[in-house]
Chains A and B, each alone.
Chain A
Amino acid sequence: MKQAVHDRGAWPTDAPIDRTEHELADWEVLTDALVHSLAGEGLMNVDELRRGIESMPPDAYERASYYERWLYSIETILAEKGVLAPGELDARLET
């Protein structure tokens, strides 16, 4: 059976497991807070967050870091619900 890109359990690999700790950047902490805040407002739940991540094209999923995937999903879900207009985030980033 073909498994989706996020369904990674039991994938064969010879690569060593990276157990190094790393500091979270400010934007990562804020991204986590944003999801909790959106959940608190009833705008988005964790299952939608996961579904948005799972909808990423496989190559984009592989390139993205953990919280980059969250950001992709937040934008996907909020655009779907009309909370964000198409292109709204990009337009704001350019100003």
Chain B
Amino acid sequence: MTFRVGDRVRVADRVHEGHHRTPGYVKGRSGWIERVHGSFTNPETRAYGSDGLPERVLYQVVFDLEAARTYVDVFEHWLEAER
């Protein structure tokens, strides 16, 4: 597991045409890890008939957006460490 509760992270702002669960409004935004949910099969490959393995770690990430403090579940491979 790469991140711990309290770590600052940034969501990758990359183009991904296929199915993924990272909402556009947090791409490129910074926040911090609130909770580690555990490991789950990867919906990005399950959506195309795969078994979704290897499992990926899912985090609850908090963002202070303009409108409100927002809690979003984000998979590890969408997150980068931020100092």
Binding site for B on A (CB under 8 A): 1, 3-4, 7, 9-10, 45, 47-48, 50-51, 54, 81
Contact of B46 with A by CB under 8 A: yes
Could you say which of B2-10, B19-27, B31-39, B53-61 contacts chain A? B19-27
In Å, the complex CA distance between A68 and B43 comes to: 22
- A54 with B19: CB separation less than 8 A: yes
Pick from B13, B28, B67: contact of A10, CB under 8 Å:
B67
What residues of B have a CB within 8 angstroms of the CB of A7 in the complex? 23-24
Q: How distant is B12 from chain A, measured CB to nearest CB, in Å?
A: 11
A–B Cβ pairs within 8 angstroms, 14 of them: A1-B15, A9-B25, A10-B24, A10-B65, A10-B67, A45-B46, A47-B19, A47-B46, A47-B47, A47-B52, A48-B47, A48-B48, A50-B19, A51-B18
Question: Assuming the A-B contacts A10-B67, A51-B18, are A1 and B47 also in contact, with contact meaning beta carbons closer than 8 angstroms in the complex?
Answer: no
The total of interchain contacts (Cβ-Cβ below 8 angstroms) comes to 36
- What does DSSP make chain B's interface, helix, strand, loop or mixed? loop
- B49 with A48: CB separation less than 8 A: yes
What residues of A have a CB within 8 angstroms of the CB of B52 in the complex? 47
In Å, the complex CA distance between A10 and B23 comes to: 9
Closest chain A residue, CB of each to CB of B14 = A1
Q: How distant is B18 from chain A, measured CB to nearest CB, in Å?
A: 7
What residues of A have a CB within 8 angstroms of the CB of B46 in the complex? 45, 47-48
